[in-house]
Amino acid sequence: MAIESVGIVGAGQMGNGIAHVFALSGYEVLLNDINAAALDSAVATIDRNLERQVSRGKVSAEDKAAAMARIRTTTSLADLGQTDLVIEAATENEAVKNKIFDALLPHLKPETILTSNTSSISITRLASRTDRPERFMGFHFMNPVPVMQLVELIRGIATDQPTYQTLLEVVARLGKTAASAEDFPAFIVNRILVPMINEAVYTLYEGVGSVRSIDESMKLGANHPMGPLELADFIGLDTCLAIMNVLHDGLADTKYRPCPLLTKYVEAGWLGRKSGRGFYDYRSGTPVPTR
Q: Based on the residue annotation, tell me whether 119 is a catalytic residue of this protein.
A: yes
Indicate the residue type of 202: Y
Of the candidates 32, 152, 198, 248, the residue annotated as catalytic is 152
Q: Based on the residue annotation, tell me whether 98 is a catalytic residue of this protein.
A: no
Please report, for residues 21, 212, 249, the alpha-carbon distance to residue 272 in angstroms, rounded to integers and kept in the order given: 25, 15, 24
Where does residue 187 rank: exposed (0-12), middle (13-18), buried (19+ CB within 10 A)?
buried
Q: Based on the residue annotation, tell me whether 152 is a catalytic residue of this protein.
A: yes
Q: Are 126 and 133 in contact (CB under 8 A)?
A: no
Of the candidates 190, 198, 248, 275, the residue annotated as catalytic is 190
Q: Are 158 and 136 in contact (CB under 8 A)?
A: yes
Of the candidates 5, 32, 122, 140, the residue annotated as catalytic is 140
Q: Are 101 and 32 in contact (CB under 8 A)?
A: no
Of the candidates 32, 49, 116, 119, the residue annotated as catalytic is 119
- The distance from CA 277 to its chain's CA centroid, rounded to whole angstroms, is 20
- Active-site residue list: 119, 140, 152, 190
